[in-house]
Structure formats: C-alpha cells, structure tokens
Amino acid sequence: MLLVALVGALALALAWPVPLMLERARWTMLAPALALLLWQAIALGGGLAMIGSLLGLALLPFPGGLAEAALALAAHAWTGPLPEAVGAIHVAALAAAGILSALLLLTLVATALQVERDRRRHVSLVGLLGRADPDRPGTVVLDHPVPVAYCLPGMTTVTVLSEGLLDALPPRELDAVLAHETTHLRQHHHLVLLAFRAWNRALPWFPIANRAERSVSRLVELLADDQAVREVDREVLASAVERIGSAWGAAEASGHASGRAVVDRTMLEIRRTRLTAASSVLPPTATLGVLLTATAIVAFPAISVLTFISGT
C-alpha cells in the first residue's frame, strides 16, 4: 500500500507542480537540451506513475500480481461474484489503468498518422506553389513577401523559404537560418514535438499538457540555435533573427502577415535576446542534479509498475 501511495503522490507531483516549476525556471534558457530531457522524463514518468498508481491499487488484493488477478477474475467472470477481497474500487482502478494506457497509445498512433497526412499534403501544396532552388537541393522558395523559413521532415525532407526571407537577409545570415532549420531535421525535433502533441491531444482537459507542448516547442528552437552557432557566428544568427523580426513588423503593418505573426515575433525576440546575451552554462553540479532527477522520475514508476505486475 505504501508503494502505491508513493507512486500516486509522484503522479500528482508530475501532473502539476513540477511541470509548472520547470516552465517558469530560468535555467532552461541556459541548457535547453537538459530542459528538454527533463520534460521528456516528466511526460514519460508522469504517464507511468498515473497508470502505475491505478494498477497498484487494482492489484492490492492479488499478491501474485497481474497474472493472479487475471486468473482470479477470469474464473469468477461467469461463475459468480468476485473474490471477497476484491471491491468495486479495485475493478474500477484496473479498468481506468487499461483505458488510460489504451488512450495514450492510440492517441500517439492517431496523431502520428494525422501529422504524416498533413505533411504529405503540405509538401504537395508547396511543390505546386513554390519553385525549387537550384542552388540549395531540397529547398523550395515561395513567392511571398513575409520572411518565412521552416522545414518539413520525413523520408524526403524539404526546407521552405520565402522570397521575403531571401530579400531580407544577406548570404551569411541566410546560411545561419538554413543551419538552424537543418538542425531541426538532423536532430528529429518533429518526433519530440509529436509525442507532446499527442499527450496534449489525449488529455485536452489536462492544463499542464498544453503548457508542456508550448515549452518544448520553444526549447527545440533554442536547441537549433545552439547547434547553428557551431557552424556560423552567433552575431550573424542574432542579426538574421533581428532582421526577420523587423520584417515581420513591416508585414503586420502592411497587412501581409497572418495572426501567427505575433506568436512568431515573440519567439524571435526570445531567440534574439538569448543570442545577444553573454553566453553561460549550468554548473556541473546543477547538470548532474538534472540528469539524476530525470533518471529518478522515470526509473521509480517504471520499477514500481514492474513490481505491481509481477507481484514481487
């Protein structure tokens, strides 16, 4: 019973206070890779803890674990009442654990299929509206005055640029933007975003899921910047980000920009501020602390679930 209570307490902590503190933490700007790792640990550990606490409660009357429970419940399914030690709360907890597990898994699969359909449709549309850039293989240029740069991952990756971007940036700054976008493709950031989008879609009533998706979206942008500045000067990338932000402002004033412009400019300002600030890193002790915390957040509920299932 104590282990069930501890796993339940962890599930509650990972459902609200811990993600809220991480979202507000300033150190994430210094170490986006560590912050992203911790967000992934919170999502995985939180899911395991929620399912594990329900499963542990359901299996309390069965010292032999899930196998014993399955045999006992199957034996009584047609012959009569459940064993005396089994109450409605145990049956409800077992059903909830199964439903939650299926919901998370099926939503992940459904989200992945939808994202792939949307990606193929987008690639087809870009191919119709844009033109291939002969100087940059895998790049399509759209005839649009607003500066835009984004990538479409998949078996055949596509980087999309706008004429507005090509007009706004000199060659070195354009190379910096391309380095940023290439990092997204190389590090498969779309897979990370997919997992958090599925989490948010599976639990839309869960406020922290939406916060997590927004935070992770921001962190992958910072990660791409960190990789890009290994290939280009930090000042060059910062200047490119600033030029794009200014061009967005002009686009808003002229009516060319969509409603997403405000959101994009906010992220651009975060990136510009970080790129122009004095670079600093987390102390080694803090880095070790984050790594140990992430490991514990996943390991404890995972081991607990195995313990509940095996009955050991």
Verify that 231 and 288 share a domain, yes or no: no
Residues 307 and 265 in one domain: no
Rounded to an integer, the average pLDDT of 228-243 is 96
- The span from the CA of 301 to the CA of 55, in Å, is 11
Total number of domains in the chain: 2
* Dist. CA 188–CA 186, nearest whole Å: 6
- Identify whether residues 245 and 310 lie together within a single domain: no
pLDDT at res. 263: 43
Closest CA to 29 of 286, 285, 273, 291: 273
* Residue 47 domain boundaries: 1-129+284-312
Nearest to 26 by CA among 177, 222, 193: 222
Residues 165 and 118 in one domain: no
> Looking at the structure, do residues 62 and 192 belong to the same domain, yes or no?
no
User: Do 218 and 118 share a structural domain?
Assistant: no
Report how far apart, in Å, the C-alpha atoms of 300 and of each of 112, 306, 307 are: 28, 10, 10
Pair 128, 239: CB distance under 8 Å: no
Q: Give me the residue label for tokens 């808003």.
A: 252
Q: 151-170, pLDDT tens digit by residue?
A: 999 888 999 999 999 999 99
pLDDT band at 84 (very low <50, low <70, confident <90, very high): confident
pTM reported for the whole predicted model? 0.93
List helix spans (H) across the chain: 2-15, 17-24, 32-58, 66-77, 88-129, 163-168, 171-186, 189-202, 207-228, 234-254, 260-276, 284-310
The answer on 212 and 77 residing in a single domain is: no
Residue 284 CA to residue 282 CA, distance in Å, equals 6
Mean pLDDT for the stretch of residues 201-205: 90
Q: Are residues 136 and 274 in the same domain?
A: yes
Assess whether 122 and 49 both reside in one domain: yes
Residues 135 and 264 in one domain: yes
Are residues 277 and 157 part of one domain?
A: yes
pLDDT, tens only, 140-151: 999 999 899 999
- Domain shared by 293 and 255, yes or no: no
Distance CA 180, CA 185 (A): 9
Q: Write the pLDDT tens digit of every residue in 243-256.
A: 998 887 666 655 55
Sign of CA dihedral 243, 173, 258, 210: negative
Pairing of strands 158-162, 139-142: parallel
What are phi and psi for residue 131, nearest 5 degrees? Answer: -130, 145
